[in-house]
């Protein structure tokens, strides 16, 4: 595969960059799963489980696919090739590109070989891993902030190109350029800019954001599935409006922006409603999970069995929507359903990755080691710290949502103001000037209005990915940004039309 890529990319720099992106993606996945894997190693070691049995346990956990792959390789080399686990771990430490993972493996191997206290080492490493993750989360927010600022600069450049086209098309300043044979700016060029170049640039920014920001939600399909049928219906309707003569009246400057806005809202609103309903349940689970684990741990300290601790903790009020899931857990456990079966049922209702991993670790800890108070305390402390990191990250990213609405309003107001102001200036009788027809000005505003609305719709997916980590959140932000842009366009056209005495 590498040789094939080398043949396709003759220049070594290009090949190197592509391979670096590939390996960095794998490294980021390892670093993301490392705290949970370290936590599971710590809890299993505190419960008396051997290092090899810990790897075998991780090889069956599909919630951590990267570490599952690593664990399967460790188990394969031990069982098939006859190596001991410490030798295999040392080899993996030499091959991995993740510095954190390498230090974790080498420290683990050294602690076991020296006869030291493995649990104390793992606890210490878990604390340092959390600190590294907290610092990485702050750096990630800074990178995302830089990306949003770069996207805002791109929108400013887009606005400047709109203004330049308006100046070219509505004034005679550049007539000498046309008569001398210099290329002018046609409406087809602007259409390519609005409907091809700008969307392509937005997609590139989305790809970059997708590599930088990961979502806690897994297996999200319903919002995308809900958008397929409305998207097909809207595409067919818009094509009919453009191609059928009987529907050409809908392409008038007064109707077409409203039509496009309505079509985009039809595509965005149903998936947005599904996503909002979905996130309410999962957000409640993320907020309540540390408190639930704390209740389980405190109940375990007074001598209750692990199962009774879970039942006791699930009776507490104040968990919000998460109480429905806990009620289901309590009823199943009271009927004697096994913990593994209970966890399988939880996965059908909860789709947030940290909560599922914490539940899984809780179940495995109880099934293997009896759920000692020390092990549960470690799990609870890390869950509480993880919640603080996620809450801090969300609060730091929230201002960028406000920025999206600001640039949507500004680009709509500025474009309309420039178009109408230049039209009003051309009506003034000046030597060498030619009055601009009202219909031309309306057609220009119509074209730019559609471009602005479409750009705001795409911006919603970019903002959704940056703020919440998933493109499914983009349906919510897209609907709000499209509505904001359309209202801004209507208000600016109405106000400036009355100010300049322009009657449609």
What DSSP line would sit under 23-79, residue for residue?
HHHHHHHHHHHHHHHHHHHHHHHHTT--HHHHHHHHTT-TTSHHHHHHHHHHHHHHH
- Residue reference for tokens 């409907």: 195
pLDDT digits (tens, 9 = 90+) for 356-397: 888 888 887 777 765 567 777 877 888 888 888 788 878 888
Specify if 102 maps to a domain: yes
Tokens coding 46: 């505190």
Q: How far apart (Å, rounded) are the C-alpha atoms in residues 456 and 464?
A: 12
Q: Nearest Cα to 383, choosing from 290, 501, 474?
A: 290
Of the residues 394, 413, 439, which one is the last residue of a structural domain? 394
- Report the domain count for the chain: 2
Q: What is the CATH number of the domain that holds 367?
A: 1.20.81
Q: 147 vs 17, 129, 466, CA distance in Å?
A: 19, 26, 9
Q: How far apart (Å, rounded) are the C-alpha atoms in residues 275 and 277?
A: 5
Specify if 355 maps to a domain: yes
Assess contact for 397 and 466: CB atoms under 8 A: yes
Q: Number of helices and strands (H, E) in the chain?
A: 20, 0
Q: How far apart (Å, rounded) are the C-alpha atoms in residues 176 and 432?
A: 12
Specify if 88 maps to a domain: yes
Specify if 322 maps to a domain: yes
Of the residues 116, 143, 160, which one is the last residue of a structural domain? 116
Read off the pTM. 0.80
Specify if 271 maps to a domain: no
pLDDT digits (tens, 9 = 90+) for 395-445: 888 888 888 888 888 888 888 887 777 777 766 655 555 566 666 667 777
> What is the per-residue pLDDT for 482?
92
pLDDT digits (tens, 9 = 90+) for 230-256: 999 998 988 888 888 877 777 777 788
Q: Tell whether the torsion through CA atoms of 113, 364, 27 and 141 is positive or negative.
A: negative
Tokens coding 242: 């453009």
Specify if 11 maps to a domain: yes
Q: How far apart (Å, rounded) are the C-alpha atoms in residues 37 and 54?
A: 10
Q: How far apart (Å, rounded) are the C-alpha atoms in residues 453 and 418?
A: 17
How confident is the model over 165-169, as a mean pLDDT?
Answer: 70
Of the residues 96, 116, 136, which one is the last residue of a structural domain? 116
Q: Nearest Cα to 454, choosing from 271, 168, 259, 285?
A: 259
Specify if 354 maps to a domain: yes
Specify if 272 maps to a domain: no
Domain with 373 in it: 283-394
């Amino acid at each position: 595969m590498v040789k094939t890529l080398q043949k396709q990319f003759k220049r070594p720099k290009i090949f190197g960059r592509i391979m670096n992106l590939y390996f960095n993606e794998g490294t980021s996945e390892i670093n993301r799963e490392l705290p949970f894997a370290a936590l599971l190693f710590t809890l299993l070691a505190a419960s008396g489980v051997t290092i090899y049995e810990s790897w075998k346990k991780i090889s069956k956990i599909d919630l951590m696919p990267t570490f599952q792959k690593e664990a399967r390789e460790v188990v394969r080399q031990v069982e098939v090739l006859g190596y001991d686990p410490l030798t295999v771990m040392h080899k993996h430490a030499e091959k991995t590109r993740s510095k954190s993972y390498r230090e974790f493996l080498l420290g683990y191997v050294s602690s076991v070989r020296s006869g030291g206290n493995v649990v104390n080492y793992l606890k210490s490493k878990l604390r340092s891993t959390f600190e590294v993750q907290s610092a990485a989360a702050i750096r990630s927010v800074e990178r995302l902030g830089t990306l949003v600022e770069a996207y805002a600069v791109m929108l400013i450049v887009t606005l400047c190109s709109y203004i330049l086209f308006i100046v070219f098309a509505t004034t005679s300043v550049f007539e000498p350029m046309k008569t001398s044979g210099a290329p002018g700016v046609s409406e087809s060029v602007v259409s390519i800019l609005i409907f091809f170049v700008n969307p392509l640039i937005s997609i590139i920014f989305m790809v970059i954001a997708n590599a930088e920001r990961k979502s806690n939600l897994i297996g999200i399909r319903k919002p995308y599935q809900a958008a397929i049928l409305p998207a097909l219906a809207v595409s067919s309707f818009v094509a009919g409006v453009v191609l059928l003569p009987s529907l050409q009246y809908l392409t008038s400057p007064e109707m077409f922006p409203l039509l496009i806005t309505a079509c985009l809202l039809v595509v965005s609103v149903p998936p947005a409603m599904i996503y909002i309903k979905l996130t309410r349940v999962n957000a409640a689970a993320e907020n309540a999970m540390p408190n639930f684990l704390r209740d389980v741990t405190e109940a375990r300290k007074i001598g209750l069995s692990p199962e009774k601790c879970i039942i006791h903790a699930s009776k507490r009020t104040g968990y919000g929507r998460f109480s429905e899931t806990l009620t289901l857990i309590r009823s199943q456990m009271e009927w004697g359903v096994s913990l593994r079966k209970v966890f399988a049922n939880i996965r059908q209702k909860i789709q947030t990755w940290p909560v599922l991993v914490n539940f899984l670790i809780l179940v495995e800890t109880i099934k293997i080691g009896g759920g000692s108070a020390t092990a549960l305390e470690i799990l609870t402390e890390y869950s509480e710290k993880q919640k603080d990191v996620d809450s801090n990250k969300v609060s730091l990213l929230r201002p960028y949502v406000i920025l999206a609405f600001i640039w949507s309003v500004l680009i709509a107001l500025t474009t309309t103001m420039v178009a109408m102001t230049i039209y009003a200036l051309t009506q003034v009788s000046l030597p060498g000037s030619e009055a601009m027809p009202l219909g031309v000005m309306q057609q220009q505003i119509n074209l730019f209005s559609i471009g602005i609305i479409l750009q705001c719709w795409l911006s919603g997916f970019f903002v959704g990915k940056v703020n919440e980590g998933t493109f499914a959140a983009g349906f919510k932000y897209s609907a709000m940004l499209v509505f904001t842009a359309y209202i801004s366009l209507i208000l600016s056209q109405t106000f400036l039309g009355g100010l300049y005495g322009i009657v449609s």
